[in-house]
Amino acid sequence: MAEFRMPSLGADMESGTLVEWKVKPGDRVKRGDLIATVETVKGAIDVEVFQAGVIEKLLVEPGAVVPVNGLMALLRGEGEPEPVSPPPAPAAPAAAEPVRHLRASPAAKRMASELGIDLGQVHGSGPNGAITLGDVQAAAVGAPPAVPPPAPRPRPVDAAAAMRGAIAAAMSRSKREIPHYYLATDVDFGRAQSWLEQQNVKRPVTDRLLPVALLLRATVVALAEVPELNGTFTDGAFHQSQTVNLGVAINLRGGGLIAPAILEAQRLTVSELMARLMDLVARTRSSALRSSELGSGTLTVSNLGDQGVGLVFPVIQPPQVAMVGFGRITHRPWVLDGHVEPRPVVTASLAGDHRVSDGHRGGRFLAAIEKLLLEPEKL
Amino acid sequence: MKTTFRAALREAHREALLKDPRVLLMGEDVGRYGGAYAVSKGLLEEFGPERVRDTPLSESGFVGAGIGAALGGLRPIVEVMTVNFSLLCADQILNNAATLLHMSGGQLNVPVVIRMATGAGRQLAAQHSRSLENWYAHVPGLRVVEPATVEDARGMLWTALQDPDPVLIFENALLYNLEGELAPDAGPVDLDTARVRRPGKDVTLITYGGCLPRALEAAGQLATRGVEAEVIDLRTLRPLDEKTFLQSVRKTKRVVVIDEGWRSGSLAAEVITRIVEGAFYELDAPPARVCSEEVPIPYAREQEQAALPQPAKIVAAVEALVSPHG
């Protein structure tokens, strides 16, 4: 029997509120299926299952606040035999064992046991969602429970304040624990811009590539050269990641930001990165992120160019160990072959975790980005 | 007839002094001054200094003398001004009064009655505002009672005097001015049972002493919101009348205990433990308590009031149990 537990959707998450189950007992699920929606301070997230099997039992009710890693459901693996239900004992209330992990009052449990009611199917209206005697009585007569289920998406009273609190916690931790060093390099973006223009002529308007796609691609490729910027620092040690889950800082319209990750970005072309980024932005703003996209980033990029910012000093998202910033692409005087000429220039910056890497390696990383952007066709 | 808690106590003392020549009253200022809370006003004039005796400010001394008088065959009523000062005679109460019967192999009963005021709420500051009933209710060998109505103020003393063993009577000082209806033939009451002071079906409020009027007020407010609270007055804090409150909780399935003592190690804790032991499978919500905040009782009026159990706190505790949470 496999267990499905509340995932950590970010280093700052302590618990989540189950909004709804998208599956019911008996449903067959495969790896990656969305099985629940969970509300966090960063919005409602669709949560995936990482194991194939059959849903055996849902252990928490919508509305329940479940701590990270708290048990939520049981899955029966493929090929695992169905549990043999014991033959009903004669004249004994065998039907409803008190269900573990369910909050029910002692009186409710006893009555459910006497009446043979499955508490897993009863809505709890008592303190902290506990099932009360009245709920069991209501279930017994088949009537709806005395209190209707709550609105499907219980947002915190002040979602913006909660989000701000979550950001504050994560960023305070970052500045407290991570010794940041900062580097920046100006990059001639002229060839990259020409290449983009050539590409976009061939594309429909809706599929046009934006400069950010090239910047993301250059970042991913440069990581292959300096892999010690890609990973997490946990339990006092750096863990280098084999894949690049590229976090992208996305501003929310209501304030605050989220940095969900483009998973396995090292496999994606420029064009695919563009499509994934657009999809991610749209889903972030409509609160339809997947659990695997949160808390799994291995390096994050903050692109504040469209805000007119020249140089970004990023604050690393713990437990990651580096963050890359890109400023505005703007025409500046640039010396090329002994002549000054106006060229589109972008400033790439890096915040690195000094526990893991040094300025020397960080410099190589920025140099790699510059070299890649000078040869965009190779990206 | 209408009377006050204080007048009912005085009448109880008169009756005892009249009915039994072995009864005497002793304590600080009980004679010429008429008692710190004016309970014994006029008794010195009526019964004389042999039977209404002013004592020095020496709790250990005069409580010890009371215990000795009881051993010698008298029926002394010893007034300790307040529970705060009883700490000075705790040795006499615990090590002598409560244990002599046991240590003498059943030869020495100690038929002493010790009265003391208790409680906060009158801006007398931390060291004069204690509620330590639970300290005494902890001790085998003592009976501990606390009247909260004029009827009990009138009737508990005589019954206590009939007990061959020590009885402690706590009087919450806020109750002395309490007015109530008393039957003209009101007399002794039992010291064994709790009483239902207001019937109800949705939640049981268990309390005693100075918190009873507050619990009744909370029950009145709850009634206007459709919650019928049953209010139980423990009356006897040792031994506890489990039967009455377990019966009520079995009916209502929910309980809030209101106790002016601090919650850690409180009588409220004892009552709830007994409910969990005796009626666990009847409970439909976690038992709750409203106790004094765990601070030395503040002097400043607003802070003092905020530290004590109040009707609004009781109502909030009940609503947390009975309101649907969805």
Distance between CA A44 and CA A42 in Å, rounded? 7
Q: Is A81 on the interface with B (CB under 8 A)?
A: no
Q: Catalytic amino acids of B? A: 59, 128
User: What does each C-alpha distance from A73 to A26, A36, A82, A131 come to in angstroms?
Assistant: 12, 10, 16, 18
Q: Hey, are the CB atoms on B285 and A108 less than 8 Å from each other?
A: no
pLDDT value of residue A297: 92
Q: Kindly list the residues from chain A whose CB atom is less than 8 angstroms away from the CB atom of residue B326.
A: 63, 125, 129, 147-150
Q: Is A105 on the interface with B (CB under 8 A)?
A: yes
**H helix count then E strand count, chain B:** 13, 14
* Domain edge (last residue) among A155, A183, A202: A155
Q: Which residues have C-beta within 8 Å of that of residue A183, sequence separation ≥ 6?
A: A349, A350, A352, A359, A362, A363, A366
- Rounded mean pLDDT, A147-167: 59
- Rounded mean pLDDT, A20-39: 88
pLDDT value of residue B174: 97
- The answer to whether B159 touches B189, Cβ cutoff 8 Å, is yes
The Cβ of residue A176 has, within 10 Å, a number of other Cβ atoms equal to: 8
Residues forming a β-bridge with A32: none
pLDDT value of residue B324: 62
Residues of B66-89 as b/e, b for ≥16 C-beta within 10 angstroms?
bbebbbeebbbbbbbbbbbbbeeb
| In the predicted structure, residue A372 carries a pLDDT above the cut 90 | yes
> A376 CA to chain B: closest CA distance, Å?
57
Whether residues A235 and A340 share a domain: the answer is yes
Whether residues A213 and A345 share a domain: the answer is yes
Distance between CA A275 and CA B322 in Å, rounded? 53
| In the predicted structure, residue A3 carries a pLDDT above the cut 90 | no
Domain spans of chain B? 2-181, 195-322
Whether residues A264 and A325 share a domain: the answer is yes
Per-residue pLDDT band for B50 (boundaries 50, 70, 90) equals very high
CATH of the domain at A122: 4.10.320.10
Query: In 3D, which of A10, A57, A63, A19 has the Cα closest to residue A37?
Result: A19
| In the predicted structure, residue B323 carries a pLDDT above the cut 80 | no
CATH of the domain at A196: 3.30.559.10
**pLDDT tens digit string along A276-328?**
999 998 888 877 788 888 888 999 999 988 888 999 999 999 999 999 999 99
Q: Is B54 helix (H, G, I), strand (E, B) or coil?
A: strand
pLDDT value of residue A288: 78
pLDDT value of residue B326: 43
| In the predicted structure, residue A156 carries a pLDDT above the cut 80 | no
Query: In 3D, which of B192, B151, B225 has the Cα closest to residue B3?
Result: B151
Phi-psi sector, B265: left (phi>0), alpha (psi -120 to 50), beta: left
Distance between CA A304 and CA A326 in Å, rounded? 6
* Domain edge (last residue) among A51, A84, A117: A84
**pLDDT tens digit string along A228-265?**
999 999 888 999 999 999 999 988 877 788 889 999 99
pLDDT value of residue A90: 45
DSSP state at residue A132: -
Query: In 3D, which of A252, A261, A347 has the Cα closest to residue A300?
Result: A261
**pLDDT tens digit string along B251-294?**
999 999 999 999 999 999 999 999 999 999 999 999 999 999 99
Q: Hey, are the CB atoms on A107 and B281 less than 8 Å from each other?
A: yes
**Considering its fold, how many domains does chain A have in total?**
3
**pLDDT tens digit string along A353-369?**
999 999 999 999 999 99
Query: In 3D, which of A9, A72, A74 has the Cα closest to residue A39?
Result: A9
Whether residues A145 and A67 share a domain: the answer is no
Nearest CA in chain A to B250: A107
A6 against A142, higher pLDDT: A6
Tell which of A61, A103, A105, A131 to mutate to test the B interface (max B CBs under 10 Å). Answer: A105
Nearest CA in chain B to A123: B326
Whether residues A229 and A108 share a domain: the answer is no
Q: Positive or negative, the Cα torsion across B294, B298, B300, B301?
A: positive
Q: Is A62 on the interface with B (CB under 8 A)?
A: no
Q: Hey, are the CB atoms on A127 and B325 less than 8 Å from each other?
A: yes
- Rounded mean pLDDT, A148-176: 69
pLDDT > 90: percent of chain A: 42
Q: Which residues have C-beta within 8 Å of that of residue A309, sequence separation ≥ 6?
A: A327, A328
Whether residues A318 and A197 share a domain: the answer is yes
Residue A140 domain flag = yes
**pLDDT tens digit string along B127-156?**
999 999 999 999 999 999 999 999 999 999
User: CA-based diameter of chain A, in Å?
Assistant: 98
Q: Is the pTM of this model over 0.80?
A: no
Residue A89 domain flag = no
> A110 CA to chain B: closest CA distance, Å?
7
Whether residues A80 and A217 share a domain: the answer is no
| In the predicted structure, residue B26 carries a pLDDT above the cut 60 | yes
How far is C-alpha A128 from the geometric centre of its chain's CA atoms?
27
Q: Hey, are the CB atoms on A106 and B282 less than 8 Å from each other?
A: yes
Residues of B contacting chain A (CB within 8 angstroms)? 253, 280-286, 320-321, 324-326
Whether residues A54 and A122 share a domain: the answer is no
> A164 CA to chain B: closest CA distance, Å?
27
Residues forming a β-bridge with A331: A344
| In the predicted structure, residue A41 carries a pLDDT above the cut 80 | no
Whether residues A249 and A367 share a domain: the answer is yes
- Residue B75 phi/psi, 5-degree rounding, is -125, 70
Size of interface A-B (CB pairs under 8 A): 48
| In the predicted structure, residue A103 carries a pLDDT above the cut 90 | no
pLDDT > 70: percent of chain A: 89
Its domain, for residue A133, covers 95-155
Are B2-181 and B195-322 the same fold in CATH? Answer: yes
User: Between β-strands A322-326 and A299-303, what pairing exists: parallel, antiparallel or unpaired?
Assistant: parallel
User: Between β-strands B255-262 and B288-292, what pairing exists: parallel, antiparallel or unpaired?
Assistant: parallel
Quickly name the fold that domain B195-322 has: Rossmann fold (3.40.50)
Residue A119 domain flag = yes
pLDDT value of residue B180: 95
pLDDT value of residue B183: 94
pLDDT value of residue A85: 56
Residues forming a β-bridge with A48: A34
- The overall average pLDDT reported for chain A is 85
**pLDDT tens digit string along B174-218?**
999 999 999 999 999 999 999 999 999 999 999 999 999 999 999
Whether residues A112 and A259 share a domain: the answer is no
| In the predicted structure, residue B28 carries a pLDDT above the cut 60 | yes
Phi-psi sector, B58: left (phi>0), alpha (psi -120 to 50), beta: beta
Residue B101, CA atoms < 13 Å, CB-side half-sphere? 15
Residues of A36-59 as b/e, b for ≥16 C-beta within 10 angstroms?
bbbbbbbbbbbbbbeeebbbbbbb
Whether residues A151 and A163 share a domain: the answer is no
CB nearest to A147's CB, from B284, B286, B324: B324
| In the predicted structure, residue A96 carries a pLDDT above the cut 60 | no
Q: Is A114 on the interface with B (CB under 8 A)?
A: no
| In the predicted structure, residue A147 carries a pLDDT above the cut 70 | no
Residue A251 domain flag = yes
| In the predicted structure, residue A94 carries a pLDDT above the cut 70 | no
| In the predicted structure, residue A166 carries a pLDDT above the cut 90 | no
Residue A308 domain flag = yes
Nearest CA in chain B to A131: B284
CB nearest to B284's CB, from A105, A148, A150: A105
| In the predicted structure, residue A101 carries a pLDDT above the cut 70 | no
Whether residues A283 and A342 share a domain: the answer is yes
The Cβ of residue B138 has, within 10 Å, a number of other Cβ atoms equal to: 15
Q: Is the ipTM beyond the 0.85 threshold? A: no
Q: Which CATH entry fits the domain spanning B2-181: 3.10.180.10, 3.40.50.970, 3.40.50.2000, 1.10.3720.10?
A: 3.40.50.970
pLDDT value of residue A314: 94
Q: Positive or negative, the Cα torsion across A234, A273, A268, A211?
A: negative
| In the predicted structure, residue A63 carries a pLDDT above the cut 70 | yes
Phi-psi sector, B306: left (phi>0), alpha (psi -120 to 50), beta: alpha
CB nearest to A106's CB, from B283, B321, B324: B283
| In the predicted structure, residue A89 carries a pLDDT above the cut 50 | no
Nearest CA in chain B to A152: B326
Token output for B67: 């215990």
pLDDT value of residue A48: 86
CATH of the domain at A63: 2.40.50.100
- DSSP calls for B59-98: HHHHHHHHHHHHHTT-EEEEEEEEHHHHGGGHHIIIIIIT
Residue A302 domain flag = yes
CB nearest to A129's CB, from B284, B321, B325: B325
| In the predicted structure, residue B2 carries a pLDDT above the cut 70 | yes
Q: Kindly list the residues from chain B whose CB atom is less than 8 angstroms away from the CB atom of residue A134.
A: 284
Q: Kindly list the residues from chain B whose CB atom is less than 8 angstroms away from the CB atom of residue A150.
A: 326
Query: In 3D, which of B203, B213, B206 has the Cα closest to residue B274?
Result: B206
